[in-house]
Chains A and B, each alone.
Chain A
Amino acid sequence: MKQLLVFIRKEFYHVFRDRRTLLIMFGIPIAQILLFGFALTSDVKNAEIIIADHAQDINTGQITAKIKASTYFLVKEANINTNDIEAAFKKGGLKCVVIFPSRFGADLLHNGKAQVQIIADGSDPNTAKTLTNYLTAIITDYQLQISAATALPYSIVPETRMLYNENANGSLNFVPGVLALVLMIVCTALTSVAVVREKESGTMEILLVSPFKPVMVLIAKAIPFLALSIAIFTLILLLSVYVLDVPIKGSISLLYIESILFIITCLSLGLLISNTTNSQQTALLLSMMGMMMPTLIFTGFMFPLENMPRIFQVISNIVPARWYFLIVKAVMLKGLGFEYVWKETLVLAGMTAVLLAIALKNFKTRLS
């Protein structure tokens, strides 16, 4: 036991003296959270739009007011001519044009059906899509509002709002994804590199000749990274709550327990990689390419899994981060309890057990 403590202390020396690695460990999560939270957000703020209101009635006035009230748009009212729209887009700056035809209010009153044209700058498809979504949502919202006012039993109103709210904070989905990604990188890559470094420098040989048990070498290597990962996890949570305004709706302790489980999964993976290679570069490449890409692609936070071909959906099942992502989403964003995530937890625990068993077995057989 005392030997283990001596060893762990040594591992901490390594970690704290390697400034570059430390920077990577804490820099990556901060950079990613800020990138995904702000730079890569699908939110569009203060987009310049023109509302061409040819009707000038109560209804169009109310809709215009609603659009103006939103922070997403910088509204300019102008009776722009259809022929001038293209020229306006070409000048740049303008993102979207909303056109109410002259009979808008009348059509709505008499036919119960009115048309509004939304023209967006399709050269920037992401922004265009987001803006048209926002506008459609605002108009749908208004339509429901007046339908309700006419005493017809419409009850879909809150659902629309939910959808609308989800659009309002794009960071929501990224936080669990970044968590999975960062823990994967930090635990898997750094653990494998730490073990392989001892092989490269020849110190592993000395350790194997010493009475210190080989399995203990792995445990001693893993513990500092476990501690650091928990610190990084806490940092990401703090950043997401206080900087990105993503609330933690579920139990924090459950979130921690699930995360520690996932960290152990990643550590086992790192140990496994370190067993199969003898150079730090290979270890880093294996864990970065072998782990990061599948995590990005198959976790479902960047590309929806539902849209993938069947074969990829099946493959995604063996990516541990996918299950962790589901758990974090459920616990953190939806506020669900353990009874909703026990299946995912079980899958993750099973994977961990298998990976750890293989890692330990390989490590032993390599000695003889």
Chain B
Amino acid sequence: MGKRNTIVVSSSSGEDKEDSTWSSRGNRSANSNLKSSKRSTNSKGAKKKARLVGLKSRTDSSVSDQLTLFCEDFDERFNGIKVPAGSLKNAHKQLWVDKYKPRSLDDLAVHKKKVEEVKMWFHERLRPCKDDCLNQVLIVTGQAGTGKSATIQTIASHLGAKVCEWNTPTPTLWQEHMHMSSSGLRYTSKLDEFENFVDRMRKYGSNSFIEGQSNSLSILMIDDLPPANGKLASGRLLNSLRLLVQSASIPTVIVVTDYGRADLPESSGRWLEELQSSLESAGACKVTFNPATTNSIKRVLSRICSQENCRATNEQIELIAKLSGGDIRHAISSLQYFSLKLDTVCYPSLISNNPSTYEKLISDEGNNRCLMPMGRDETLSLFHALGKFLHNKREAGAAFVSDQDAFVLNEKFARLPLKMDAPEKILFQAPEQARPITDFLHENVLDFLNDEAIDDSWTVAAYLSEADTLLASPNGFIFRNHEAENLSQSVAASVATRGVLFGNSCPVSSRWHSIRRPKLWQVDKSSSWNKHDLLKQRLDLREACSLPNSTVIATEYMPTLKRLNYAEATAPWTTMQDKQSGEDECDAMSIHGDERVESEDEIEDW
């Protein structure tokens, strides 16, 4: 069983890279799994693995899912049309992402300094005379597609080191499980596999995985962590990682993909952060990769273009680079898809030899983002959305011009047009629910009102009150119908945001504002705590003969008791609430832990 670890020995010199396999990334890694069976000692385990791989066409991460979709799309396109003679003829067998994998350090679209940093780290560890005090673990984090794995691979090949990869195993499907259990193979959890692997790594060192050549330099790369859900599983993962950090004997790189905050539920995002900081405290080194800059992506793209004889203009490349959001893999795939599109869509105009219409077509297409199928969905963080609503930017001066037909709006109700998308659209982009949005608006809106504008603050407060009423389920009924609930939620969010936008009739000129976390949440919590406390105190205090009502205790008994100087027995409210608020600050009760976030500049950017 123990031999089933998916350790892959792939020589990084790049000779395999020319394999013309028509596969997505997920399959590619599976293929290298196959390859490893030829080389690694544990051929028995690898054989099992091979069978496994044969079954698994499903890819493991969402990124590769996307790519698979792309591939299907490619297939369709390729089957549907005759490929025009020329450049694509020989190349279409392979995805550009694989074909143009960086070979040298210069190819990398990662910032020079980062590359240098990682390189130095390896240098120090791979020197013949090692300092023992150096910790052997490096954590590389960054968003998807920023070239984390590629950098490691490239540097390793630059230094002439071997990379052993531990790939996150693909999840087992139910059918596979059924199939395998019939063949007598028992299911092991991926986490178990990982723990097992780490254990062996510690006990027997890297030699248990890598054949012979112990004198050659080798690097262990853990490409993404096995999935761990729930406290228990993540605790185990963390433990085994810490063990690895403390005891690694060869340079080990742990690649952690940083999912955008918006993509994940808050808790798991925070968990990843915790994991990283805990590993760091255990002695690991950490390097964060920033999203690739538009310029470096452009550089890569134009290099590919020139090699592929692709006729994308500079503007188009720039647009693709921008839309990719710093994800270079995405950008390259987009370029490949885009160059396909060029040929299919614009083929007629090319034939007619009319460059101007061609240009026009292209630029039309380029300008209209909706036509670009490969743009990433933009997401807004909660604070960006809030900033938009609170700052309430409007077109300056441009008076509201109404049609003759439209009824004339009373001046009192007329507002300048908004300098943003419709609030609903922004809400749609922001991942948050209606309730937190409303709470945040309520907490912060008064800061953004003019000092004199008490009427406005009433308008805003009135709309927020409406929104709250909408948010409450009628008569304490729990909605049985989710559609109805969703509708009332989105209506409430809409009322709250539009209310805030409309109510603030003369927004103050923008200046720096911090956005506070709603105090309301803390208040709710302490209040229910105190209520509990009160009841208990009351029951303790007297020879209870009747169950008191909390309202009466709070409004009548407690104040009297305080007056009567029973202060020792019953904590006065100030101390009680101090204690409470102290506790609350430690509690993770907020969706965004930090109380003061996002400076004005950041809000301005959007």
> Does A associate with B in a complex?
no
